[in-house]
Structure 1
Amino acid sequence: MLQRTSEQVSQRIERWRAIDPAQRSREPFEALGQAGLFDIGLPGGGASLDSFAAIAQAEQAIVAASGDLGLATAFAGRQLIARFFIGRFASEAQRADLLPRIAAGRCWAAVAISEPGAGAHPKHLQTKAERRGDDVVINGRKAWITNGPVADIFLVLAITGLEGGRKRYGLFVVPRDTPGLTRTPMPSLDVLKPASHCELTLENCTVPASAQIGDMLDAYPAMALPFRDIEDTLGSASTAGFLAWLVRAAATHTELNDDHALRLGRLKGLATLAADSSRAAVAALDDGTPPVPARLIGVRALAAGIVDDIRAHLAVARADERVSRALAAYNVLANVAREPRKQRQISLGQSLWSEPQA
């Protein structure tokens, strides 16, 4: 199955690479759809593509071929949201309505969890959903919605009630043309284009009660919490693809001699280790084995070391604009969720003190 997945993804990536580069740059999302990439990872798109691994392979290949972290981030976020929230938790009717349109490129879904000044911490979120007869009325604000400016529907996390002083949450499908919904583009980071973000203001946005995704008591621990870890795991594929691209780009700016070959060979070996760790981490998502936090920590550590080494080299070499832009994009993404990642690394280090010694 893994070989079949790789073959299917590779065919689509090759179709994408065959599209004129000017067209890919001018209309990046249209080019992805034209190459058939929008059904990757979605239920119904073929058994060989129905996996997190398929999304990760495509994501990694996009960056490895182009160095474009922004495009890979936008693509992976699109597919992951559809696979995780809709494919896993939506009703049969919701899946039948949304997944074919998403796979065909006729619909984009974006998830709205974080809020201005609150991040994604459940204690601080304020957006509320109130049941009124057969409808639900949503009020609040959301921020940092990836792909929000191009989204057709928003999956909005909102408080549905209190139990013992604890907030309970639901997730609701809110179409972009819902009265009372206002999108405000957030200051765009040019180095991450075409990935973009927006804020949402919801003022008495009314949707049918059937717009709720999932029937669990609290959508936060069931959906929002695991999504952060899954998103982080898939992100390691972008990092692996970027490292492969960056090492090749560095070679083009390096004089041919044995000392430089020795250095580049070491970097290539480290980049391969990062790719192997990413692949293992993503495989665990599909086969249900427990995650190994050390894998993602290792990928990030390897990436940081490789990037630092190449930066030092390119400081005395003539780097082109693409390399500079790609490095800037890497910096931005490396700082996303930095504090939770730091705490995860601290926990891993602390665990060593409790391990028995021989």
Structure 2
Amino acid sequence: MFEATRPAHAPVDHPKVKMGKVGILLANLGTPDDYSYWPMRRYLNEFLSDQRVIDYPKWKWQPLLQLIILTKRPFSSGAAYKSIWNHEKGESPLLTITKDQTVKMAAAMQERYGDQVMVDYCMRYGNPSTKSKVREMVEAGCDKILFFPLYPHYAGATSATANDEFFRALMDEAWQPASRTVAPYFDRPEYIEALAQSIERAYEGLEKRPDILVCSYHGMPKRYLMQGDPYHCQCAKTTRLLRERLGWDETEIMSTFQSKFGPEEWLQPYTVEHVAELAKQGKKNIAICAPAFSADCIETLEEINEEIKESFEHAGGEVFTYIPCLNDDDAHIAALGAVVESNLKGWLD
């Protein structure tokens, strides 16, 4: 069905082309190729040069980035990555998990649509690049591509920059495929259900019920919220929907924000500070999850489970339970599959 052929009514000397497939391209944030200095520097340079992430004027930001930050930060970030690295496979956990998610999604889509679809993944920063995967899909005969940033919530620094990179990749294609991007799915019942099930399983395995569940979301400057970014509101709704599904009281769950960077005010409360405050208030047993991340990564495995945990214990906390991201959990893949199916309507029904 997808062998290269001449288009209908084309002259006999027209080059043969492949067409007729629908590409499903999953996209995540990215990963360095290694935790040593130069791979870390390349990765951080690409990430921190993105003006969706750091929107300061280039003339002001780039000298600071190139001359100061990128001479020091690759060492500290590299050490953090080394502490969580998948040494057996020679890659970051984010890459391992994204590969596993893609395999399961491909199997689910194959069962649903047969050979009409092609499923792959790309990274906004690092490898495999968005551009390279768009090129592969077009060469494989995908004349339609559904681009799926794996962020439950919209933010300019995540969903928007991933879409930007996808659109830039399309600019290089002589024959652009028809394209769609997937909207945030933070309030879809399937996603909330998958989150709730993961928390219920974790709680069932604990000797004592935690005093509170902290939903730690990746932070961003408060200024972005005031400029109209909906991320903060979508995070708040996720926590509310999760609480309602679990049937909990408002005192049993809360939202915080992590990963503050730079001098300006970010969304609050800050996770690293607030868990210490919880310990001082007598909440010595807490659980923490990260609903904004579709896969465990440096921000969850190192920042939450090491730095934030240390802050809690240093303040007198006793039991700290990190509940992993949904990763390639079957309920998560089913939820993502439902999102894909709804976005393919009109292309594949």
Q: Same fold (TM over 0.5)?
A: no
Give the shorter-chain TM-score range. under 0.3
**Could you say which structure has the higher helix fraction?**
1
Relative to the length of structure 2, the TM-score reads 0.23
Relative to the length of structure 1, the TM-score reads 0.23
